[in-house]
Structure 1
């Protein structure tokens, strides 16, 4: 995966209420916390129109999860969900979970006077845990949330200033015990680390042989494994579909731009840089000339003029078997 980086932007659009600085100090320590970082950050937001007491704020999760019991408390049914067929991991040890579906619900953090409300897309599971729901990292970023796990405090900017939400240490302790109790009832074999299988010896043969796909035309051949069994079925299949092969660049008709197109995601403010001219030996120059001539003839490339942005050709030696 490539990440585009940009320089300073002249017309930068700031996020809502980012003018309010968020800081932490000893004034945020609202309790004597003996085991720093050992307890989860649990808050009590209003989801849709129900005040839930056990919502886990998980900055390490990329998912927002609503558990089966919470769906019932909201008065919703499976028919209200949008179906999905992708599974996720991380809740049940060593097992994938297939959601019942997903649903977008309003979530309100704060008090009647000072609050922030927005919409969250929840995955809905068919099982329960010690929590009503889990709010993950993507939503925390959307809300511009800053967490402090030592103080068990969550802060986010709102129109009036900074909203500070304190977790309940007793609640966090009790629900953590409940989570451990749920883990203890999971069969032991589900918690064991699976043993690695012995490395299998490669069954691939590096021996090849050429077969003629068009009888009488020795230029139209294909390489297949020398030890294939049965061989006749593959050769017959290739000969039956010989029209799909491109024997020379001119046979390749290209791909419609409506289907796929490559582009360079370069900032309009970036200044192109001309590479230093690279010198090639005579044999490499000839290889470059032959290849460029072929590509020009087939219409794969065309000549253009960039006075400020030039890149040297790069030669890559292919292995014989490639």
Structure 2
């Protein structure tokens, strides 16, 4: 934003939520702004949102990198560039991985800081091992998964 000479007050509110750009996380943008785009490093030569696709009754097909819409007299087909699409997808993956790694580092730092603050409670030596280890519930019973298996008693 700084390089474009924009400030937070220039942004319009946005209710958009991005899911799975970074695996397992969702993000809300801080706002939106309209920009004229000239040279765009993207798999797409045009960025159209749902309202534009609806208005033009466009049918995008992402697997084939094609979009079709009705023209005045004929069907218009836009064709994407597979190599450019792959290049952009790989750059997006690298960015997402770096964001995930950065977030995991922050979480790990928080865990380490909490661990350093919390005193460790030692297990008493005179406590019986049966109390300290996992014990199945009294209601637990063995069930035969294979009727021909006679190794399990009911």
TM-score range, shorter chain: 0.3 to 0.5
TM-score for both structures, normalised by structure 1: 0.24
TM-score for both structures, normalised by structure 2: 0.44
Greater share of strand: 1
Higher Rg? 1
